[in-house]
Each structure stands twice: as structure tokens, then as C-alpha cells.
A and B are shown apart, each in its own frame.
Chain A
């Protein structure tokens, strides 16, 4: 088992996936706080608020790609516009249904994305990510 993080954020419009992934994180005892956001907009709003109040950002963010209104890609574009000082502190992992190599290639070409994973999030995956990036 890897170390316990303070906060992990899940950004996914599928509430069942969020529920299941939170369950996995809790069972694996990987974080004190699990922030679930059902849209990229809400996630962005939360991040901006944290920055304004000089609060810490989540240590780790799992981002879905295919979401209505704002996709994961669009979220990343907006996030990149924010204060650079905060960006290095949050590890972003794409967690999607897609095993489409095009998506994976695109994700790997984006600097602020650390990894590309296919759902569902498993305990093994969590441990591997935390050991590798945190």
C-alpha cells in the first residue's frame, strides 16, 4: 500500500463511476478527502476558488474526457491558463472509458497530463500512480 494523500479530485459526469472510484480510494485508504465533481466547469470553479483563497489544490486529479458541455480537453486548456505556480503541484491523470489510441496519444502530448488510464480505477492502479508521481 502506498502513502495516503490529503485530497484526490474526481472529475466525471458519470456519477456511478465517481461513486465507484471514491469507493476504491476509500477502501485503499489513499486520501483524506475525495472531491467529486460532475462537470469540468464545476471542477474549474473549485480550483479557482482554492487558488483565490490560497488553499491547497488536490494532490491528484482524475479527469474524464467525454463530458457534455466542457470536455476533459477543454478543461485542460482552461486549467493551463491559470497561475502556473499552482499547476506543478497537482498531478493530473486522464481516466476514461476510451482505449482509443488517438486519445492516448493526445493525452501523452500534453505536458500537464501525467498519465492516461482506462476505467475503472483499481487499487493497483492507485498504488502505482501514487508511487510513481507523488
Chain B
């Protein structure tokens, strides 16, 4: 059934005109003598002309100006009956660049080319994304390189270290009788420190490898925490720590890595406890916009706000090794993991007032 609107040919034409003037792509028709026979609004506006100036009057050479020479091969190609496609980068007077893709469709009737239709689409957003993608690929390659470097460095550093500790152990064994207490003590310190360095190097390697080969899966975060608590069973028991867990969501996460975060935070909360006070930990989660914000709060020794930035750096420690043994890797690793989840991690604390670690996680979809 034919609608009232398109009953006559005339109204069909005006309908086509209305449509073509309301598309963002530039449309035009050039005849075989290269005179403009049609141009839509986007086309005339781009060139700063009116339809009256252009249609049935303007030649393509006149319109394009210096661009004519550049486009000539495509124009000739179209006039030979072959479809043309090419991309252009056009500087915008107000700054930036417009990227466009042009198509010339030849109009062939009875084997003869009567002209061609031009379609120019703005692909600036696509191009910018493409550039961003290339940049990300480069970063990815750099990261791989860095990881490889860390791996090789840690491997090569590990080797001489092991030789030192091997010979120390041989010396200690073979000369047990002859050595006085002083020498034994020195050897034992060398041995402890080489072991520590070895652990630090291993930590660095593990840190550099966080997130490799891991996949996002939907997990109940409560279960993740339950597993951590069961892993830390002995520590929790001997310190008589009390852990309160609020409502927790199921989310798409990197499970092993997230588990490591909770392990680090709970472990720290117990490790940095106040003397003679039972450690108490509160774990909660609230939804904020599109993110989930977790918090792990303790009643421990707390941290001076001036150190807040430092604590998330690798190998940074605020306490003596004697009082609080550790390698300074846990929080740095946690930060890297949270950032992998598109989130942030931060702390609220004051000396003596306990600490609350907050972190956000976007519910990432694989």
C-alpha cells in the first residue's frame, strides 16, 4: 500500500532529499564532465558552499582546489567504472585532525559511466581508537619486555647468591670445631641475609608476574575470604583474632589474585596488632555506582598519614625487621592486583587508632 506522503514522484524526491540532508556522511554526485549534480547538506557545509552555488554549476576542480590533484587518480578511476576507496587526514582549522574515508561509486548505465556518487564518512573516532589501540599494544610489548628483564635479572642474581650460601654452609659444617662463637655468628648473619635477598628477588619475580594467564571468573567473594581465613587458620588461632564479615557480593574477579589481596590485608591486620590487645578485623563491602568498595578494618597499631603513599611501593617497610618481619611486597602486590581489576586501593588510619584499607573493584565482564 502506498502512503499518502509518497504518492507523487515529487514528494518521493523531497523525502530522499530530507533523508540525505539529515545523514552525517557527505554525499554528492558528479557527472562525467565533473560538474556537481547533487550535494547533501553535510557536503556543502563541509566546503562552506550553498547548494545554489554548487549544484549544476561547480566543477570538482573548482571545489577541491589544491586537493584536486591528490584526488585525481581516484576521480579518473571512478570515471573508468571502478569503485574507489581512500582515507584522508584533514587538519581542522580549530585544531585537531579529521579522519575521513571516501568512496566513489561509478554510475554505470548500459556499460557507460555517467558519473559517480561520492560518500565521505567521518571516521575520526574510529581512527583515534585505532591509535589508542596501537599505543596500548606498544605498552603491552614494553610490559612483556620488562617482565622478561625481571625474570632474567632475578635468575642471574639468584645464582651467585646461592653459591655464597652453599659455600657458607660447607664452611660452617667443615669447620664446626675450629670456629669460635664470633665467627659462627658472622657466618649465620651472612647466611640469613643471603636467604633474605633470595626471598626479595623471588618476591620481585612473583610481583612482575602478577596477573599473567589469569582469567576473570564469577566468584562469591565471601567464599574467597573464607578460604583465606582457613589458610590463615593457625595464625588466627594463635593470636585469637576475631574476624567479622559483612554481606559480600558475587563478582567477576581474578580469583587467585583477589585471594592474595585479602590474604595480605588480613595477614597485615593481624601482624600489626597492638601488644596485649586481641586483633579484631571487620570486612565489608558496599556498592557505589558501578563499583564495589571493600574495606578491611583493624584495631592494630595504625599508620601515620604521612606514610600513606609509601606503603604501596614495593620493598617499602615502616617497621624494623626485628619487630615485624616481612619483605615489603604484600601491599605493592595488592595495589597491582586491584588496578588489574580497574580499581583503586587506599588507607585511612592514624597511629594507635587502627587502619582501614579500602579498595574498589569494577564488576568486570570477561
A residues with a Cβ closer than 8 A to B are 14, 16-17, 20, 23, 66, 97-101, 119-120
Whether, in the assembled complex, B363 has its beta carbon less than 8 Å from a beta carbon of chain A, the answer is: no
B202:A97 contact, CB within 8 angstroms: no
Across-interface contacts of A17 in B (CB, < 8 A): 162-163, 166
CA distance A16 to B170 in the complex (A): 12
The answer to whether B202 touches A120, judged by C-beta atoms less than 8 angstroms apart, is no
Quick one: which of A66, A97, A100, A101 contacts B162, CB cutoff 8 A?
A: A97
Are A120 and B155 in contact (CB-based, < 8 A)? no
In residues 126-171 of chain B, which contact A (Cβ within 8 Å)?
151, 155, 158-159, 162-163, 165-167, 170
* Interchain Cβ contacts within 8 Å, total number: 29
Instruction: Tell me whether A23 and B162 are in contact (CB under 8 A).
Output: no
CA of A120 to CA of B155 in the docked complex: distance in angstroms? 14
Say yes or no: is B209 at the interface (Cβ < 8 Å to chain A).
yes
Contacts A99-B202, A99-B205, A100-B205 hold; do A14 and B159 have CB atoms under 8 A apart? yes
Contact A23 B155 (CB under 8 A): no
Give the residue name and chain of the A residue nearest to B152 (CB): A66
Q: By the criterion CB–CB under 8 Å, are B155 and A98 in contact?
A: yes
**Contacts A14-B159, A97-B162, A99-B202: A23 and B151 contacting too (C-beta < 8 A)?**
no
Q: Decide if B155 touches A97 in the complex (CB within 8 Å).
A: yes
Instruction: State the CA gap A5–B184 with chains docked (Å).
Output: 34
| Chain A proximity of B274: nearest CB distance (Å) | 36
| Interchain CB contact under 8 A, B170 and A20 | yes
Q: Which of A14, A23, A98, A101 contacts B163 (CB 8 A)?
A: A14
Interface of chain B, main secondary structure? helix
In the complex, besides A100-B155, A101-B209, A119-B162, 11 extra interface pairs with C-beta distance below 8 angstroms are A14-B159, A16-B167, A17-B166, A20-B166, A20-B167, A20-B170, A66-B155, A97-B158, A97-B162, A99-B202, A120-B165
For chain A, what secondary structure do more than half of its interface residues adopt (helix, strand, loop), or is it mixed? loop
Which residues of the other chain, A, contact B205 by a CB distance below 8 angstroms? Answer: 99-100
B166 adjacent to A97 (CB under 8 Å): no
Shortest distance from the beta carbon of A100 to any chain B beta carbon, whole Å: 6
Q: Which residues of A contact B162 (CB under 8 A)?
A: 17, 97, 119-120
Residues of B within 8 A of A66 (CB): 155
CB distance from A109 to the nearest CB of B (A): 15
Assembled-state Cα–Cα distance A120/B151 (Å): 19
Which 4 residue pairs of A and B lie closest in terms of their CB atoms, listed nearest first? A20-B166, A16-B163, A97-B158, A97-B159
> Residue among B151, B162, B205, B209 with the most chain A CB within 10 A?
B162
- A119 and B198 CA atoms in complex are apart in Å by 12
In the complex, which residues of chain B have a beta carbon less than 8 angstroms from the beta carbon of A97?
Answer: 155, 158-159, 162
In the assembly, what is the distance between CA of A120 and CA of B163, in Å?
9
CB-based nearest B residue for A122: B169
Can you report 17 residue pairs joining A to B where beta carbons are below 8 Å apart?
A14-B159, A14-B163, A16-B163, A17-B166, A20-B163, A20-B166, A20-B167, A20-B170, A23-B170, A66-B155, A97-B159, A100-B151, A100-B155, A100-B205, A101-B209, A120-B165, A120-B166
A99 and B203 CA atoms in complex are apart in Å by: 11
Contacts of A14 in B (CB 8 A): 159, 163
Quick one: which of B155, B167, B202, B209 has the most chain A CB within 10 A? B155
Q: How far is the CA of A32 from the CA of B9 in the complex (A)?
A: 105
**How distant is the Cα of A57 from the Cα of B63 in the complex, in angstroms?**
87
Q: Which of B253-309 contact A (CB under 8 A)?
A: none
- For A98, give the chain B residue with the smallest CB separation: B155
Would you list which residues of chain B between 230 and 250 have a CB under 8 Å from chain A? none
A119 proximity list for chain B (CB < 8 A)? 162
Chain B contacts for A20, CB-based, 8 A: 163, 166-167, 170
Closest beta carbon of chain B to A41's beta carbon, Å: 21
Complex contact A16–B209 (CB within 8 A): no
